[in-house]
């Protein structure tokens, strides 16, 4: 998320009542979690396992729970609880308020777009031309939808990210401040859920088609002309390149890449990055022909065992 106007480093430190190291006049332009940072951003780190990743990221400012010397080009803010302070900064810029109308007056709706009864359109939503939004669709604040998009009934666009920090006796929610962007000629089935980014954007590429009952996690970026069958579930911060096909009930783990043109057969589990241009099956998903051979060999085990014991 980018701020509407930059803050000075010293102003950020003052807001969260923390010490800092670096140029007090440095302009801070945004706040992002580690997967989405760009130059000028603040991010946070609260575990030694991720110190190096944060300190070598593109972020210009790091809220950290360990006193240390700032690497070249970095500015540090020292906090006893970076997650808490990161959330506090985000909350200052997330305006959640009651809405009394089903379509907020701030929404921009393109020519020839139809929104059926019972649908909700939040603040600062943009919907392009020639779209068809079926009944009981919920489109949360700040969503951007292109032209010729179809969204079927009971789908939710822009729900909060499923992102929590484990505390000793409860889970603390990470506040979502990103949005969803749906490009032109996308069709989304009934009862789908597309989560907004934690701090960046969840993007559905042009021409992609989704069946019913599909979950897309936060900050996931889906390429052009992908095809997803029913009950596909995709975790957060996944990159799916163009022309990927995921058949029914495929599950995709977080923080991975599915290469262009990959096909994943039904009921498979994608545990790590997979190359494009191949077909996959199984859990964890591997080359489909190899998996089929494994299954054939497994079916021969009882026969081999009986021969050995007879």
Q: Is 309 a residue whose pLDDT tops 70?
A: no
pLDDT at residue 99 in the model: 84
Predicted confidence band of residue 303 (pLDDT cuts 50, 70, 90):
confident
Q: Is 98 a residue whose pLDDT tops 90?
A: no
Fold of domain 108-293: UDP N-Acetylglucosamine Acyltransferase; domain 1 (2.160.10)
Residue 140 CA to residue 257 CA, distance in Å, equals 27
Where along the chain do its domains lie? 2-91, 108-293
Predicted confidence band of residue 70 (pLDDT cuts 50, 70, 90):
confident
Residue 113 CA to residue 131 CA, distance in Å, equals 4
Residue 182 CA to residue 206 CA, distance in Å, equals 8
pLDDT at residue 308 in the model: 63
Q: What is the pLDDT of residues 244-262, one digit of tens each?
A: 999 999 999 999 999 999 9
Q: What is the pLDDT of residues 182-223, one digit of tens each?
A: 999 999 999 999 999 999 999 999 999 999 999 999 999 999
47-67 mean pLDDT = 94
Q: What is the pLDDT of residues 157-183, one digit of tens each?
A: 999 999 999 999 999 999 999 999 999
From the candidates 35, 93, 218, 299, give the one annotated as an active-site residue. 218
**Residues 10 and 23 sit within 8 Å (Cβ to Cβ):** no
Q: Is 302 a residue whose pLDDT tops 80?
A: no
**Residues 55 and 65 sit within 8 Å (Cβ to Cβ):** no
Instruction: Give one DSSP letter per residue of 97-147, joined into a string.
Output: ----SSB-TT-EE-TT-EE-TT-EE-TT-EE-SS-EE-TT-EE-TT-EE-S
Reply yes or no on whether 93 is catalytic.
no
Residue 179 CA to residue 86 CA, distance in Å, equals 18
Predicted confidence band of residue 225 (pLDDT cuts 50, 70, 90):
very high
89-117 mean pLDDT = 92
Q: What is the pLDDT of residues 142-161, one digit of tens each?
A: 999 999 999 999 999 999 99
Fold of domain 2-91: 3.40.1390
What pTM, to 2 d.p., does this model score? 0.93
pLDDT at residue 218 in the model: 97
Q: Is 67 a residue whose pLDDT tops 80?
A: yes
């Amino acid at each position: 998320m980018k701020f509407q106007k930059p803050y000075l480093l010293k102003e950020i430190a003052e807001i969260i009542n923390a010490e800092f190291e670096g140029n007090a006049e440095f302009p801070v332009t945004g706040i992002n979690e580690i997967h989405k940072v760009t130059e000028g951003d603040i991010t946070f780190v609260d575990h030694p396992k991720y110190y190096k990743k944060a300190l070598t990221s593109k972020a210009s400012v790091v809220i950290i729970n360990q006193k240390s010397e700032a690497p070249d080009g970095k500015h540090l803010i020292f906090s006893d609880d970076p997650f808490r302070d990161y959330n506090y900064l985000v909350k200052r810029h997330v305006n959640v308020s009651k809405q009394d109308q089903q379509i907020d007056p701030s929404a921009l709706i393109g020519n020839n777009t139809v929104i059926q009864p019972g649908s909700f359109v939040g603040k600062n939503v943009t919907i392009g031309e020639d779209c068809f939004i079926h009944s009981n669709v919920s489109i949360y604040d700040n969503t951007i939808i292109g032209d010729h998009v179809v969204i079927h009934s009971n789908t939710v666009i822009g729900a909060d990210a499923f992102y929590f920090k484990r505390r000793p006796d409860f889970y603390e929610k990470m506040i979502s401040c990103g949005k969803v962007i749906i490009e032109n000629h996308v069709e989304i089935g009934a009862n789908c859920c597309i989560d907004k980014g934690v701090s960046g954007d969840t993007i559905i590429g042009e021409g992609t088609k989704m069946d019913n009952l599909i979950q897309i996690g936060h900050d996931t970026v889906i390429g052009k002309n992908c095809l997803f069958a029913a009950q596909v579930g995709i975790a957060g911060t996944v990159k799916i390149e163009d022309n990927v096909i995921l058949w029914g009930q495929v599950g995709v783990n977080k923080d991975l890449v599915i290469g262009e043109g990959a096909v994943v057969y039904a009921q498979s589990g994608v545990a790590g990055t997979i190359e494009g241009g191949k077909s996959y099956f199984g859990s964890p998903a591997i080359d489909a022909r190899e998996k089929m051979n494994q299954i054939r060999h497994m079916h021969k085990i009882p026969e081999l065992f009986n021969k050995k014991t007879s």
